[in-house]
Amino acid sequence: MAPTRSMMMDSPSDLNEFVMIQGNGVKGLYEMGLKTLPKQYIHPLEERMSMMTNKVVPQESIPIIDMSNNNNNCDVEDAICYAAEKWGFFQVINHGVPTQVLENVKDATYRFYELAAEEKVKYTKENSPTKHVRYGSSFSPEAEKALEWKDYLSLFYVSEDEAIATWPYACRNEALEYMKKSEALIKRLLNILMKRLNVKEIDEIKEAVLMGSKRINLNYYPVCPNHDLTVAIGRHSDVSTLTILLQDQTGGLFVRTEDRCGWIHVPPIPGALVINIGDALQIMSNGRYKSIEHRVTANGSKTRVSVPIFVNPRPSDVIGPFLEVLASDGEKAKYKNVLYSDYVKHFFRKAHDGKMTIEYAKIT
């Protein structure tokens, strides 16, 4: 039997049973018609997107880069590298991924979350037939003092055959197509970024380290009561090489300003993709390219979906500053060599905490 509203307000175990173990997610809480946010989701004031504690800077925006500017390819390359160095975030338009592919994967996200809880629960950590498919809620519930208002389906890509056999049918084909159609964009971005680092060629070894594994998430953020008391995703930087993010038109993604004194909204642009540098590329570039803190706010009136592709090293790869970077500038390494799987485990064993994960790799 599902817990009553009052039970969930008072009992963490009943809330966990309903949201996590039964597979209802926060979507299930919203569908119950809760008018008051359960206390387990209330975040400290300093973590909320409040004008009192977190200043929004409306006059600034991350760069928007037109990838179709073939007559001035150097301008495109300069814009991408500048954005990676200064902002760590940028949006791309005319990027080559068909609009219909983007619309299809958003539709598939809704289709998965419209499944009954008894279907979705088949993919939780306890029930999933493979560790490469994971349905869950919040970020790291075991480590968090306050939960995040988000459900997710995480799909780690091993091979097309494995994906066809194990990914949920409701979204499998659309997620695979989005990954395939993004491949050329990912390679183009990495080639541009590597050239600026004095890496003349991305050989098989470099390609494996830069993009040897991929993960796609289907994120779902239902309407939230008392949305100003919680967060959808807390402050963090990604552990990826690059993240390719498709967001819908709802809005809610914010990135930290360069001076760390405020936050900039990343406005949804129809057909655009948001690109951000991850910790792995900050480490490999010896800090030249920046992974930046970002967060997502909860929404009190509209459901939001987003679909990021995380482009990562392989778990077995050792990452550190590229020798070409150190040789070209004669600078000392700022980061030690770390096993990528250890770095990722460090990220996931704690709550979101801004840029603290990268301290794990810093040379002190």
Convert the pLDDT of each residue in 110-164 to its tens digit.
Answer: 999 999 999 999 999 999 999 999 999 987 777 778 899 999 999 999 999 999 9
Residue 70 confidence (pLDDT): 61
Mean pLDDT, range 281-288, rounded to an integer: 97
Sheet with 304-312, edge to edge strand ranges: 64-66, 89-93, 273-277, 242-247, 304-312, 213-221, 151-157, 133-137
Q: Report the mean per-residue pLDDT for the chain.
A: 91
Q: Write down the pTM of the prediction.
A: 0.93
Q: How far is CA 118 from CA 34, 107, 115, 127, in A?
A: 21, 21, 8, 11
Residue 350 confidence (pLDDT): 85
Of residues 364 and 210, more confidently modeled: 210
- DSSP 8-state code for residue 17: I
Measured CA to CA, the distance from residue 291 to residue 362 in angstroms comes to 14
Residue 269 pLDDT level (bands cut at 50, 70, 90): very high
Instruction: Return the closest-CA partner of residue 73 out of 188, 183, 175.
Output: 188
Q: Above 80 in pLDDT, residue 71?
A: no
Measured CA to CA, the distance from residue 238 to residue 280 in angstroms comes to 8
Q: Where are the beta strands (DSSP E) in 33-160?
A: 64-66, 89-93, 133-137, 151-157
Helices marked H in 125-233: 160-166, 172-196, 204-211
Structural domain boundaries in the chain:
40-361
Kind of pairing, strands 263-265 and 338-339?
Answer: unpaired
What are the pLDDT digits (tens) for 225-246?
999 999 999 999 999 999 999 9
Pick 40-361's CATH classification: 1.10.260.40, 2.60.120.330, 3.40.50.300, 3.40.640.10: 2.60.120.330
- DSSP 8-state code for residue 198: T
Q: Which amino acid is at 248?
A: D
Cβ distance 245 to 273 under 8 Å?
A: yes
Q: Which residues pair with 256 in a beta bridge?
A: 263
Cα 88 to chain center, whole Å? 14
Residue 139 confidence (pLDDT): 73
Cβ distance 183 to 160 under 8 Å?
A: no
